[in-house]
Amino acid sequence: MAPSPPDTTFKAAVATPSPARALAIKAVSFGLIGVVNTVIDFSIFWAAVQKFAVALVPANVLAWLVAVSASYVMNAFITFAAESGRRLRWRAYATFVASGIVGVIANTTTLVIASHFMPLVITGEQAALAASKLCAIAVSFLVNFSMSHFVVFRRRSGAREG
């Protein structure tokens, strides 16, 4: 009896994706969760700056603190569900926040620099501030996904976490 050809159906491709495909799927999932967190981050940032006259850097850090917590929960249950076992752990949360500090530093640095150079379009300073914040979010996405994938939610062989 001749060996059967490999199963090339969609079901087989989805069931066991290649490592590159699995990484791409995680990046897309992380990005979609990032969209939700961008709305959270931007809304809190905008309200803090525009409604409560909070300075740029403290407003950015406040917005990040709320968004990073929401991001941890969603990523633990969705993007990195296999690695986290869909369980929230204080240690993993602390690691996620600590790794996110690299992202918030990149985000805040980009925000401050970009706010000086972004073209003033539509409503002047407000549009530049919004564009600067969106540039900062894009930079921090790259940093945060890398830290989450390679540090926070990496597969650990045999290690149990409490």
Is the pLDDT reported for residue 162 higher than 50? no
Q: Would you say residue 89 lies in a domain?
A: yes
Q: Residue 12: its pLDDT value, please?
A: 55
Domains in the chain, number: 1
Closest among 157, 161, 148 to 29, alpha carbons compared: 148
* pLDDT tens track for 24-80: 888 899 889 988 988 998 899 889 988 898 988 899 899 989 999 999 999 999 998
List the one residue out of 44, 107, 43, 64 whose CA is nearest residue 115. 107
Residues of the chain with pLDDT > 90, as a percent, come to 23
pLDDT at 7 over 80: no
- Whether 107 is covered by a domain: the verdict is yes
C-alpha–C-alpha distance, residues 67 and 131, integer Å: 19
In a domain, 50, yes or no: yes
Is residue 1 domain-resident? no
Examine residue 55 and state whether it is found in any structural domain, yes or no. yes
Does residue 119 register a pLDDT over 60?
no
Contact present, 100 and 68 (Cβ < 8 Å): yes
The mean predicted confidence, pLDDT, of the chain is: 80
Contacts of 69 (CB under 8 A, 6+ apart): 93, 97
Domain that holds residue 62: 20-152
Mind listing the pLDDT tens digit for each residue in 67-90? 999 999 999 999 989 888 999 999
Global pTM exceeds 0.85: no
Cα–Cα dist 131/80, whole Å = 30
